[in-house]
Amino acid sequence: MDINSAEFIISNTDVKKCPQGQFPEYAFIGRSNVGKSSLINMLTGRNKLAMTSSTPGKTILINHFLINKNWYIVDLPGYGYAKRGHKGQDQIRKVIEDYILEREQMTNLFVLIDSRLEPQKIDIEFMEWLGENNIPFSIVFTKADKLKGGKTKNNINNYLRNLKKYWEELPPYFITSSESRMGKNEILDYIYNINTTLNSSII
Ligand code: GTP
Ligand code: MG
């Protein structure tokens, strides 16, 4: 799928104020600094669409981007950023949970995982919570350019082995780099296929 247009529409903390209408949307979530905004820029080919930063905690709102005038990409705040303090983290958690549980247009959630790290409790628990609430999700391993010499692959295989302890069937997963654009076509094709099954007029 080609992305012909990508426009920022609105930022919110309240799911009730998100855009009206029935366009399907695909949201990106994960720990702070995992690379959500960079991935969105890479997928859309627009370097400055979503704001990125080396300082964690940059995205604190629900950000809607309209793609090809008929579906949305949603950039969500990162979870688990300790420096926000308990109160700040609770506020962000509420924004995220309300969005995920209440937003009917949310068609698939992409959960981003740093491909360099061992499985983290916070991510495993988050995915369990998604399962309990029947939220459709896929995993996106990020920053695959950062480890050299097959280490990325080993780490990811290890991660998937670990997940099998909790899941009978693994969710779909993608291996990506916002630097090299690895995984771009795979994710866009995945979205395209879902859009096609939802409504043959959405392409
Ligand atoms: P918050 O909005 O703070 O939750 O962070 P985020 O998940 O949106 O992360 P963001 O895209 O801002 O990226 C965080 C840092 O990681 C930035 O310095 C990016 O340049 C870097 N980064 C993101 N993706 C990649 C990647 O695929 N490869 C490399 N080498 N660096 C990346
Ligand atoms: Mg961000």
Assess if residue 88 is contained within a domain.
Answer: no
CA gap 51, 37 in Å, rounded: 6
Binding pocket residue ranges, ligand 1, CB within 6 Å: 32-38, 52-54, 56-59, 78, 142-143, 145-146, 177-179
Would you put residue 68 in left (φ > 0), alpha (ψ -120 to 50) or beta?
left
Assess if residue 146 is contained within a domain.
Answer: yes
Quickly list DSSP for 53-89: -SSTT---SEEEEEETTTEEEEEPPPB--GGGHHHHH
173-183 confidence digits (pLDDT tens): 999 999 999 99
117-164 confidence digits (pLDDT tens): 999 999 999 999 999 999 999 999 999 999 988 899 999 999 999 999
Average pLDDT over residues 21-43: 95
Residue to substitute in 53, 83, 115, 142 for testing ligand 1 pocket (most ligand atoms within 8 angstroms of CB): 53
pLDDT value, residue 82:
67
Assess if residue 89 is contained within a domain.
Answer: no
Average pLDDT over residues 14-38: 94
Q: Residues 41, 115, 42, CA angle at the centre, nearest 5°?
A: 10
The candidate with the shortest Cα–Cα distance to 77, out of 68, 69, 85, 91, is: 91
Residue to substitute in 11, 38, 76 for testing ligand 1 pocket (most ligand atoms within 8 angstroms of CB): 38
Residue 49 pLDDT more than 60? yes
Tokens of 61: 């709102």
Assess if residue 25 is contained within a domain.
Answer: yes
Tokens of 74: 């949603």
Domain span at 52: 6-83+102-202
Enumerate residues 6+ apart whose C-beta is below 8 A from 69.
5
If one counts every other C-beta atom within 10 angstroms of the C-beta of residue 105, the result is 17
Q: What is the DSSP letter of 21?
A: S
CA of 107 to the centre of ligand 2 (A): 20
Assess if residue 94 is contained within a domain.
Answer: no
Assess if residue 97 is contained within a domain.
Answer: no
pLDDT value, residue 79:
85
CA of 93 to the centre of ligand 2 (A): 15
pLDDT value, residue 201:
52
Query: What pairs with residue 98 in β-bridges?
Result: none
pLDDT value, residue 120:
95
CATH number for the domain spanning 50: value is 3.40.50.300
**% of residues, the chain, pLDDT over 90:** 76
Assess if residue 149 is contained within a domain.
Answer: yes
Assess if residue 77 is contained within a domain.
Answer: yes
Residue 8 pLDDT more than 70? yes
Which residue's CA is the nearest one to ligand 1's atom 16?
A: 35
CA gap 92, 182 in Å, rounded: 30
The domain tally of the chain equals 1
The candidate with the shortest Cα–Cα distance to 74, out of 47, 97, 107, is: 107
pLDDT value, residue 103:
97
